[in-house]
Structure formats: C-alpha cells, structure tokens
Amino acid sequence: MRQLNASTVRGAVLAVGAGLVACSGVVIERSAHAWGADQQQIARGDDRDHDDDRDRDDDRHHDDRRPRRRSATRSSPIAITSDDRFVWSVNPDNDSVSVFKVAFDVNRKIAEIAVGKEPWCVAITPDDEKAFVTNMASGTVSVIDTDRRKVVDTIKVGAEPFGCALTPDGRKLYVANQSSNTVSVIDADSNRVERTIRNVGSKPHGIAITRNGRKVFVTQFLALKPVNDPRPLTQSEGADDGR
C-alpha cells in the first residue's frame, strides 16, 4: 500500500506533477499557483545568483507565522521541512543523510551528514529543529540538530529499525523494529525510549499515524499465508527465505 506521490532514486528526488524543474540530479515540482512578478524572476535559471543573495540571511529558518493544520504522518526515506525550504533524503549505501535546499528553486545539495549503518527512514519535527533517522544495521536512531546539521544523540532501539513516524504534534516518535517484531516509542524531547510495544506482527515495516495522533498503523513486511494454501511455509508467499 503506497501513499507517497514522490520517489527517491539514488539521491535523486522525483515529485509527480506539472511544471518540473531539474537541477543537479534533483527534480522538484514547481508550485501550480500563480506567481508574482518577483517570484517569476527568481524561478528563471539565469537569476540563481540573485536568489542566493536574497536567501542567504535566512538560509536555515524561514519566519512563516501562518497557522498550519496538523496532518497525518507516515514513514518515508525522504522528508521536507514544514516551510518547504529543505528536503532530507537517506542514503543507505553510504550511511548518510543528504540535505537539499529547494527554496526559490535553488535545488542544490548543501550538506551530507554521516549517521549509523544503513539508514532507511527520516522524520522531521514540526518545528524543523530535529531530524530522526533509523539505522537498520546499527539498531539505532540518529538524532540530528537541523540548524547545526550534526548528530547530537543516538538512541538504541530494537533489531533492524526501519520505518519511523512522528506524531503530528511532534512529541512522540514511533519506530518499527523489523527483527524484534516490536515498535519503540521515543520521547522526541528527551530522545529516550519510553516504552516498547510488542505483538505487532512479523517484520513490522512501515508506520502511519492519524492526524489526531490517536491511532498508529503498522504494516508487516511479510505477507500472511492464505488459509487454503497447501504449500509449506518455506514455499508459500511471504516466506522469509533469506533473499
């Protein structure tokens, strides 16, 4: 079951929609809204230098005081800050997280942060101050200060953590531990595991949380064997044969 309208391919980001703009291997969907004259000027490739001058002073934070409605959250290997200015993407092959600046169509990689072994999911707090990254081979979650772009804490969780999602209020982080068959609940303020939820099924993988934060849904990586399937477990669909 796929709910994302974006996919990541080896460090390249693809957003599906009209008006695509490519830059340095990154493709970002341009807003479908009508733009003002100054924004149209910024969007043109020959005005990138002018864009950098405008954006240098507030490169990391954007003062947007408009109230935002909370939305449901879900696990993903890619995340965008609440002000739509930065995209974060995990790199499992080189144990890092890349940060792309996408404000004003700059579309440029500005940082690569080393994390644990085989990062597979990233979640950013609603205030854009922290990023959490699950490291499957390390059995940990890296906590990144987004302002300094530096790992400031490492949280030990279950075996092979994969999907993670923050509650819409940003207070709790839920982490699916594939080989422990558990979900870790982390206090996002103190960066500590509050409790471990068991009996969530075999190989918990993805996580989604409702807008009010009252329900957490967890997918299982392996399919359940159909009741009338005569094949042995080693041959039936969803069998863990090590491949």
In the chain the domains, ranked by start, together with CATH numbers, are 6-220 (2.130.10.10)
Q: How confident is the model at residue 223 (pLDDT cuts 50, 70, 90)?
A: low
Residue 1: is its pLDDT beyond 60? no
Least confident range of 128-137, 201-210, 229-238: 229-238
Over residues 70-80, mean pLDDT: 95
Cβ atoms 139, 153 nearer than 8 A: no
Q: Who wins on pLDDT, 178 or 28?
A: 178
Least confident range of 22-36, 48-62, 186-200, 202-216: 22-36
* Cβ count near 57 (within 10 Å): 6
The Cα 6–Cα 25 span in angstroms is: 15
The Cα 96–Cα 111 span in angstroms is: 10
The Cα 57–Cα 62 span in angstroms is: 10
Cβ atoms 168, 73 nearer than 8 A: yes
Tokens 């935002």 belong to 68
Residue 161: is its pLDDT beyond 50? yes
What pTM did the predictor assign?
A: 0.68
How do residues 79-98 score in pLDDT, each as one tens digit?
A: 999 999 999 999 999 999 99
The Cα 138–Cα 161 span in angstroms is: 8
Residue 163: is its pLDDT beyond 50? yes
CA dihedral 167, 109, 25, 17 (to 10 degrees): 40
Cβ atoms 122, 77 nearer than 8 A: yes
